[in-house]
Amino acid sequence: MGTDDSGFSDASAAPHYHGHRDRLRQRFRDGGHEALQDYEMLELLLFSPIKRADTKPIAKALIARFGSFADVLAAPPARLMEVKGVGQRVVDQLKLAHAVSQRFLREEVRKKPVLSSWSAVLDYVRTAMAFSDREEFRILFLDKKNALIADEVQQRGTVDHTPVYPREVMKRALELSASAIILVHNHPSGDPTPSRADIQMTNQIAEIAKPLGIALHDHIIVGRDGHASFRGLQLI
């Protein structure tokens, strides 16, 4: 006899929430995601791993703990499992949803020149990094037409620091025959304001890139509270 993430056995009775599930699915079919609140979207995701329990309390508990739908999807597995009713199957489902959203947005970035689809770039990097609990340093490598060649996470660090080696950044750009790069990293604190170290590191990369004929288009810092563009702030 199996159990789902709720701890309920397969022989459990199927009470009131079955009709609720049907109604919630129908609302989603009729109105899409905009017809549902964040916790209701989570309920839908939890229907698969939790087949024999009411998912509403678990969904609301997740929102209460992490703050938003996006925060829940990006939360570390160990922290997710601190919420009652959340086991490995729920974590797998949430991580799959997060990965699907990143894959979709990355494909949107790949379809056209990056500089002409800046909002898609911002949507992608925010989904990929803004809600992480550790700093990550990512590079978007572009060709002569500013199309995306590669998107790579170069370093992962701690809650407030990621070691970045400018010469390694340039080495990788040359390996990929990139004509331009966009630097991206996150601030887990939520505040995307560039630090003095961020500015210094960006200047070092720009100085090395220029004689190699590689353009540094921007350095974007993302956080829960928004993003900061070095180009927009006239820091490069």
The residue ranges of every structural domain in the chain are: 17-101, 112-229
pLDDT reported for residue 123? 83
Q: How many Å apart are CA 93 and CA 105, to the nearest integer?
A: 19
Query: What would be the CATH architecture of the domain defined by 17-101?
Result: Orthogonal Bundle (1.10)
- How would residue 24 be classed by pLDDT, with cut points 50, 70 and 90? confident
Has residue 113 got a pLDDT over 90? no
Query: What would be the CATH architecture of the domain defined by 112-229?
Result: 3-Layer(aba) Sandwich (3.40)
- How would residue 110 be classed by pLDDT, with cut points 50, 70 and 90? confident
The string of pLDDT tens digits covering residues 164-177 is 788 889 999 999 99
- Could you give the 3-state DSSP secondary structure of residue 219? strand
pTM metric for this prediction: 0.66
Closest by CA position to 156, among listed 134, 182, 140: 134
- How would residue 157 be classed by pLDDT, with cut points 50, 70 and 90? low
Q: How many Å apart are CA 137 and CA 132, to the nearest integer?
A: 12
Mean pLDDT of all residues belonging to the chain: 84
